[in-house]
Amino acid sequence: MTVVRVYTKPSCGPCVATKRALDAKGIEYVEEKATDPQNMEAIKALGFMSAPVVVAGEDMWSGFQIGRINELAERIKEEK
């Protein structure tokens, strides 16, 4: 099963929108603080500079991307 991690920052509109969309699709995720130094380094190593960052296996992106969330929901549905 795919583990989904969402790196978020406080007061981040796209972060809230991403979490709401994941919740609406029934996608379980682990929320990580993008502001923690260790997480900041991990995000930078992946090549991202803005939050949120979503990591689901080999699939990853930054920002609020409803199309990617929909694709992820379908992939997770197929895994079950």
Q: Indicate if the pLDDT at residue 35 is higher than 90.
A: yes
Q: Indicate if the pLDDT at residue 80 is higher than 80.
A: no
Q: Indicate if the pLDDT at residue 53 is higher than 90.
A: yes
Q: How far, in Å, CA of 70 to CA of 19, rounded? A: 13
* Residue-level pLDDT at 29: 98
- Mean pLDDT in residue range 28-39: 97
In which order are the strands placed within the sheet that holds 30-33?
30-33, 4-8, 53-56, 59-62
The pTM (predicted TM-score) of the whole model is 0.93
Domains contained in the chain, CATH given: 4-79 (3.40.30.10)
* Residue-level pLDDT at 2: 83
- Mean pLDDT in residue range 8-31: 97
